[in-house]
Structures are given as C-alpha cells and as structure tokens.
Amino acid sequence: MKNAETVRVGKRGALVIPALLRRAYNLKEGSLLVAEPREEGILLRPAAVFPVEVYSPERKAEFLLNNAVTPEDYAWAVKEVRKLGLEPEKIPHERPAER
C-alpha cells in the first residue's frame, strides 16, 4: 500500500477516503473518525465508541440497597434512596444480615 493518497475536499468539507484505505482500516459508511489537529496537518483515526448504560433512579436504589454489607451501610443506603424520592421498601433488595 502507498504511504499517502491525495483526496479532494468537497462541499461542506466532505472527504472521500480512497477505497484501498477504507478497506485496510475497515471503514464503512457511518464509521466514526477522530480528527486531530497536528503540527504537520490533520490526523484522522478511527474513534473508539462504547455504549453507556444510563441507570434509572430505581436501579440506582437497588444497587445502593443490595451493596450494603453492614447495618450501618444499609441505614446510609436507605437515606440515599429516600433522597432519590423513592421508598426503600418498594425496591427489590436483600437486607444485610444482622451481626
């Protein structure tokens, strides 16, 4: 493969990446790239994208209550759940064992 390919900037700044390079880097329509300014020019590289799970208040409450290890942890978790505007008794969870 050659070291460099010449591309033309089109309308709205669109670039057409040569097919050989698209295949070599598995770039498909809709692939995301990061454009980084560099002293020598612009570096384009594939972006790493990871899904992010957004938890509901109920799910957060479940985590808080189920992760309590001691009665003191549990009392703290109950307060935090109430701060979320939820009733701890309505959240499925297991209380920690009394010591």
Q: 53-99, pLDDT tens digit by residue?
A: 999 999 999 999 999 999 999 999 999 999 999 999 999 999 888 76
Q: What is the pTM of this model?
A: 0.52
Distance, CA of 64 to CA of 84 (rounded, Å): 11
Total number of domains in the chain: 2
In terms of residue numbers, what domain contains 80? 51-99
The verdict on residue 3 lying in a domain is no
Q: CA 14, 46, 2 angle in degrees (round to 5)? A: 75
The length of the chain is: 99
1, 3, 12, 39, 76 from 33: Cα distances, Å: 21, 19, 17, 19, 44
Claim to verify: residue 59 and residue 41 sit in the same structural domain:
no
* Average pLDDT estimate for 26-54: 93
